[in-house]
Amino acid sequence: MKRHSVKLIAITAFVIFLAVAANYAAAQIKKDESLRKGETRTTLNPDMFSDPRIRKAYQAAKEIPWVLDSIYCYCMCEESPVFKHKSLLSCYVDNHAAM
């Protein structure tokens, strides 16, 4: 019984450590604006969309814009003279990601 308690305490401590480390890392990434490609416009409101998958994608873009702003968009909208997007985040400042 005692050995089980020690294992449980060790596992709990490890999980707490991981949670703290992940939270710290997320805060550091959010602060690191050097990862951003420069999209400054805000994303569209997820509630504008009726499709739950699209709504969820726009919600993610709203919550972690620094991640999407550091990712190249493979639909080539960055090179398009029509869209003039700066990164994947740009697809979420208009309805392009919903198409």
Where residue 85 falls among pLDDT bands split at 50, 70, 90? confident
Each residue of 34-69: pLDDT tens digit? 555 678 889 999 999 999 999 999 999 999 998 888
Do residue 1 and residue 19 come from a single domain?
Answer: yes
The whole model's pTM is what? Answer: 0.60
Least confident piece of the model among 6-10, 12-16, 65-69, 86-90: 6-10
How far apart are alpha carbons 80 and 32 in whole angstroms? 28
DSSP assignment letter at 90: G
Do residue 61 and residue 98 come from a single domain?
Answer: yes
Do residue 99 and residue 57 come from a single domain?
Answer: yes
Do residue 3 and residue 26 come from a single domain?
Answer: yes
Q: Which of 19, 24, 32, 23 is CA-nearest to residue 66?
A: 32
Do residue 45 and residue 76 come from a single domain?
Answer: yes
Q: Three-state SS for 31?
A: helix
Report the chain's C-alpha Rg in angstroms. Answer: 19
Do residue 12 and residue 49 come from a single domain?
Answer: no
